[in-house]
Amino acid sequence: MLFWGVGLALFAAFMWALGATLVPYIAGAAIAYLLDPLADRLERQGMSRVLATTVIVVSALVIFGLVAALLIPVLVDQVEQLVAAAPKWLAAAQEYLTARFPDLLSEGSSLRRSLATMQETLQSGGLAAINAVLASSMKLIDYVLFLTFTPVVAFYLLLDWDKLVARVDGWLPRQHAETIRRLARQIDQVLAGFVRGQLIVCVVLGTFYAVALMLIGLPFGFLVGAFAGLISFIPFVGAFVGGALSIGIALFAFWGEPLWILATAAVFAVGQFFEGNVLSPNLVGKSVGLHPVWLIFALSVFGSLFGFAGMLIAVPLAASLGVLGRFALERYLQSPYYTGRPPGDAA
């Protein structure tokens, strides 16, 4: 406990001090971990490790570049349209509430002042605020370094992944090596089942939501659908947030046409049904052991402590802590503290 406790404290201090600097390296390590099975498969088919790694990294960069070139302009355009349309929708909502509930929005009421302030803010500084957020969160130098270092780190780690795993295995204390290997295999099983499967679920759901919302004519359907698919990494949250945003937009866009409002809600109902009954059981599996509440808690805690780097390590650490917690509970149930029998009592 002393050894691992000190190690955990040093790791937390290291992450807190260098969290922002470590983002490209954590992202590169995550990419290498996710792509290592593919590299192993290409090796079994006769490729060298260098060639397999080169093919994977170059293919990933090409796919990422094509997707970014196709999607980013559409997303930026829809964000600008949303910012421009928000004040008009707010004014329409204020007029509707004034007509239906005159007492609620009487002259000088707090709700009326709040709506007026919100409308002025959106009109005067909505787009400027978004630009400021983007400029502050994606500084040019950091962005270039991230795009440069991450593929390089991923390439070298993927190239030497098996050697690194063998080297770490050689450092394990011999008395507990098999137990540590068993725990590592369980952690790997959880991560492989959750991360790889959930990434596919996010892509499938995001594509479905975006295409379906665009087909029914919902304004900003592509933006909302892509966002809902992105945050579907947290189970149930993507459907809930995306559905709330879409229905809110549909109430303004399709007012007087309840059929299209119901169609908007149906898109997320269908998506949630397929996620829960088809996608997640087959791609993620039932035995992952990452409860949604535990995952949300891990993302919140590590994100607040270590920033974006903390959010990157939240899922692996949540999975690892879950496996170690179950192992500790298993040992506790076998211990004299639980059984009440002295150590070594065969009974």
Q: What is the pLDDT of residues 96-155, one digit of tens each?
A: 666 666 665 556 566 566 666 665 665 555 555 555 545 544 455 566 667 788 899 999
Asked if residue 287 has pLDDT above 90, the reply is no
Cβ count near 71 (within 10 Å): 13
**The pLDDT value given to residue 158:** 94
Answer yes or no: are the C-beta atoms of 47 and 86 closer than 8 Å: no
Least confident of 116-130, 163-177, 229-243, 317-331: 116-130
% of the chain exceeding 70 in pLDDT? 79
pLDDT of residue 166: 93
Please report the pLDDT score of residue 137 as a whole number: 47
pLDDT in the model for residue 80? 73
**pLDDT score at 44:** 93
The one-letter code for the residue type at 92 is A
pLDDT confidence of residue 293: 78
For residue 16, give the nearest of 304, 320, 322 by alpha carbon. 304
Is residue 115 within 8 A of residue 94, CB to CB? The reply is yes
pLDDT of 204 higher than 60: yes
- Residue 50, pLDDT score: 94
Which pLDDT value is given to residue 162?
93
213: confidence class by pLDDT, cuts 50, 70, 90? very high
pLDDT at 193: 77
What average pLDDT does range 179-184 have in this prediction? 93
Angle between helices 23-44 and 49-100 (to 10 degrees): 130
Judged by average pLDDT, the poorest of 197-211, 243-257, 260-274, 275-289 is 275-289
What is the rounded distance in angstroms from the CA atom of residue 226 to the CA atom of residue 211?
Answer: 9
Encode 195-217: b = buried (16+ Cβ within 10 Å), e = exposed: bbbbeebbebbbebbbebbbebe
- C-alpha span between 160 and 340 (Å, rounded): 49
pLDDT tens, position by position, 145-155: 677 888 999 99
Cβ of 31: how many Cβ atoms within 10 Å? 20
| Token code pair at residue 161 | 């992944």
Sequence length of the chain is 347
Cα(171)–Cα(182) distance, rounded to whole angstroms?
15
What would the two tokens of residue 214 be?
Answer: 């665009």
Highest mean pLDDT among 144-148, 159-163, 185-189: 159-163
**For the chain, how big is the Rg over CA atoms in Å?**
25
Closest CA to 4 of 307, 335, 320, 334: 320
Full-model pTM: 0.72
- DSSP assignment of 200-245, as one string? HHHHHHHHHHHHHHHHTT-TTHHHHHHHHHHGGGSTTHHHHHHHHH
Condensed to tens digits (0 to 9), the pLDDT of residues 3-30 reads 878 988 998 888 888 877 788 888 899 8
- Using CA atoms, how far residue 152 sits from 28, 33, 37, 58, 65, in Å, is 8, 14, 19, 11, 16
Q: What is the mean pLDDT of residues 206-218?
A: 91
For residues 71 and 222, give the distance between their C-alpha atoms in angstroms, rounded to a whole number.
10
Task: Indicate the average pLDDT of the chain.
Answer: 80
Q: What is the mean pLDDT of residues 317-327?
A: 87
Six-digit token pair at 156? Answer: 């070298």
For residue 176, the 8-state DSSP code is G
